[in-house]
Amino acid sequence: MSTEFPSKPEIQRVWHVVDAENVVLGKLASQAAMLLMGKHKATYTPFLDTGDHVIVINAAKVKLTGKKDEQKLYHRFTGYPGGLVSVGARKMRSTRPVRMVEDAIFGMLPKTKLGKQMYRKLRVYAGDKHPHSAQKPQARQVA
């Protein structure tokens, strides 16, 4: 007996729209990562990309719990000696809210080439408009 694996033409990709308004960032990120990996499907295979496309809207209105708005720091490295740049969550939300949501979702994906391939199916928008209406995305609630 052999195990059946889905081939490229058999993988059905669906587009999902997730509204991030008043949703906790961690819950949003874990739901979006699950959709991107395809864990909600019966055809899930750990070493294949069977996931769907995810559109996140209202990223600027995502919620942080506790004191994370004042205490959480986002780090990046410029590549130069002493080039560590740290930005607080409040400033990150005001300047680049899309980056805040993308970093949270990217952190929950596999750290491999496959994870990068899954990440390419993510689109995040700060407002409530997106240009993907032709793909007929389905609205998805975050529990």
pLDDT, averaged across the chain: 96
Instruction: Indicate whether 31 pLDDT > 90.
Output: yes
Residue 17 to residues 25, 57, 69, 107, 124: CA-CA distances in angstroms?
16, 7, 25, 20, 10
Q: What is the pLDDT of residue 137?
A: 97
Strands (E), 1-141: 15-19, 53-57, 73-77, 84-88, 122-124, 138-140
Q: What is the pLDDT of residue 1?
A: 78
Residue 90 to residues 49, 71, 85, 99: CA-CA distances in angstroms?
34, 9, 15, 13
Each residue of 82-121: pLDDT tens digit?
999 999 999 999 999 999 999 999 999 999 999 999 999 9
CATH of region 14-140:
3.90.1180.10
Each residue of 6-21: pLDDT tens digit?
999 999 999 999 999 9
Instruction: Indicate whether 143 pLDDT > 90.
Output: no
Q: What is the pLDDT of residue 103?
A: 97
Mean pLDDT of all residues in 27-52: 96
Mean pLDDT of all residues in 19-48: 96
Mean pLDDT of all residues in 34-52: 95
Count helices and strands (H / E) in the chain. 5, 6
